[in-house]
Amino acid sequence: MRTVLAGIETEYGLQIAGRGAEEQIQDSQALVQSYLGKRLLVWDYRYESPRRDLRGFVLDHLTVDPEDAKFDSFTPQTNDIRLRADHILSNGARFYNDHGHPEFATPECWSLDALVKHDIAGQFTTLAAGEAYSENAGRQVRLFKNNTDFHGASYGTHESYLVPRSFGFDKLFGALLPVLVARIILVGAGKVGSEKGPNVPYQISQRADFFMEPANAETLFRRPIFNTRDEPHGAIQDW
């Protein structure tokens, strides 16, 4: 079996004492910018297109969650690049603000062992940024490695794989969707409580309350199990 490059991206839940959800985008930006480790403050956006779909078309627009939109209205208009506060770390990881959540994207890895180690390094990076922000702002900071805040908002932990474009969408979707569903039961952490509707003591999935479709390119609303966003971070090639 051919090995493939893979990476994990984790968005961390964020809670800052005395601050509300309407201020979270700016707070997350400030927290990421507080990181003092070795870093390069730059990112190449040339190949990014969030509306390009793996199935061969481009979406007219991306739907915004109505609940998120209420809080986004409080966000001052600013340069999107500055708001993301991109950090490229010495191990090749990316640490940045993603819509109100500190996000750590591991470097591409050839093995599961390396991937787990870099994911753990992301925990220490995020913690160091939170401690620095807390000291500077004089506020208690709490960070959560979860996928939901129990107030109707969800954020992702997602992985990426480098595969030949010749595979095509149908083959990838057919192979991965059963794995993505089954592994929740086999190795998922689950969730205490529910977001809406009658309260339940436990769910096997944190994201089940938010999934709406098997596949699409949306990330903020109509969330899918299989995300079809075609957003390479480099020149598109096949092998």
Residue pair 109/66 in contact (Cβ under 8 Å)? The answer is: no
CA 154 to chain centre: 10
Q: The tokens of 40 are what?
A: 């390069």
Helix 24-33 with 112-137: angle, nearest 10 deg? 110
Report d(CA 14, CA 4) in Å as an integer.
Answer: 32
- Backbone dihedral angles phi then psi of residue 16, each to the nearest 5 degrees: -120, 125
Scanning the chain, the segments in alpha helix (DSSP H) are 24-33, 66-72, 80-84, 112-137, 168-187
Catalytic-residue membership of 68: no
* Residue of 65, 98, 119, 209 marked active site: 98
Question: Helix or strand or coil: residue 220?
Answer: coil
Q: What residues are labeled active site?
A: 98
